[in-house]
Structure 1
Amino acid sequence: MDITTPALLFPAISLLLVAYSNRFLTLAGVIRQLNNSNDRSTTLIQKQVGALKKRISLTQRMQAFGVLSFLLCACAMFALFLAAQFVGKLLFGASLISLVISLLFSLAEVSISTNALSVVLEDLEEARKSHQK
């Protein structure tokens, strides 16, 4: 394995971290919007709070493992640069494992986000039905 193998992962991890940051910023905006809401006690908001807490935790973990993957990839490149093939391969493998863990956390966060949207849609549907009566 040469230095170009882990170098190929660099742009992918960088783009992934940007996407994670955008998801975090969107999540922070939703939380701030709910905090500024005048009616914080509604059932809809109460249903969302638990999901939002889980999403924050998952986002933190996916970002942490994404950054760890990036660091391990950089260390792998450095080890390969120093001709330490075995260490470079180990570090690159650890980088890939960290990336997979990050992606699994991302998948879990997307699942919770989708469920949260379903709750909002159910509330909108109930409001529409009660408005029609």
Structure 2
Amino acid sequence: MELQLSTPALLFSAITLLMLAFTNRFLAIASLIRGLHKKFLEEPGEEILVEQIHNLRRRLSLIKNMQLFGIFSFLLCVICMYLLFQGYTSAANWVFVSSMGSLLIALALSLIEILISTKALNLELSDMEDIFEKRKSSLDFIFKKENKKE
């Protein structure tokens, strides 16, 4: 199969959309970190905050690497197109394969980041469930006493 100039050009839109998604994740993480920082200053000893901070630090690192590999993939696509334009098809094939590999790494990192963010959401949910269970048991205690009085 011969690589044509339009083939790496097709990746431009996909890589651009991925970069937009990665940037949106970065902005969401930045917002979460700012909010968590405010909470941490108010209640520095709360254990769930420390867990969230570690979780966000890992996610931030993954997002940085996702963006890095996405940009590298984009750059390799441009180089591949230039090589094809100059007639170096053999070199262009290798550069295109490298571009696809870089994109694959970015997607794998994205999957890992999604799994970690799910873990973070589960931490939040478990914290809320604990609070709910405590409130529920205290309300049950109140209602049981009222029922005994009647």
Partner of 1:8: 10
Listed as ranges, the gaps of 5+ residues in structure 1 are none
Alignment counterpart, residue 95 of structure 1, candidates 99, 113, 130: 99
Q: CA deviation at 1:2?
A: 1.1
Q: Does 1:119 align with 2:123?
A: yes
Normalised TM-score (structure 2) = 0.87
Deviation at 1:41, TM superposition (A): 2.3
Structure number, greater radius of gyration: 2
TM-superposed CA distance for 1:49, in Å, is 1.2
Amino acid at match of 1:94: S
Identity fraction in percent: 40
Answering whether residue 132 of structure 2 is matched by residue 128 of structure 1, we say: yes
Which residue is equivalent to 1:35? Answer: 37
**Which residue of structure 1 lines up, in the alignment, with residue 48 of structure 2?**
44
Partner of residue 62, structure 2: 58
Q: 1:33 is matched by which residue type in structure 2?
A: G
* Alpha-carbon distance in structure 1 between the residues aligned to 2:64 and 2:127: 29
The reply to whether residue 78 of structure 1 matches residue 74 of structure 2 is no
Task: Measure how far apart 1:36 and its partner are.
Answer: 1.2
Residue segments in structure 2 that go unaligned for 5+ positions in a row: 139-150
Please identify, of 41-50 and 51-60, the stretch whose mean Cα deviation from structure 2 is larger: 41-50
* Residue 42 of structure 1: how far off its partner (Å): 1.1
Letter in 1 for 2:91: V
- Dislocated runs of 4+, deviation >6 Å: none
Q: Secondary structure at the match of 2:127?
A: helix
TM-score by length of structure 1 reads: 0.97
Q: Equivalents in 1 of 2:100, 2:44: separation in Å?
A: 42
Q: Which amino acid aligns with 2:23?
A: S
The one-letter code of the counterpart of 2:31 is: G
Matches of 1:73 and 1:98, distance apart in 2: 10
Output the aligned Cα RMSD: 0.7
Q: How many residues align?
A: 133
- TM-aligned CA deviation for residue 117 of structure 1: 0.4
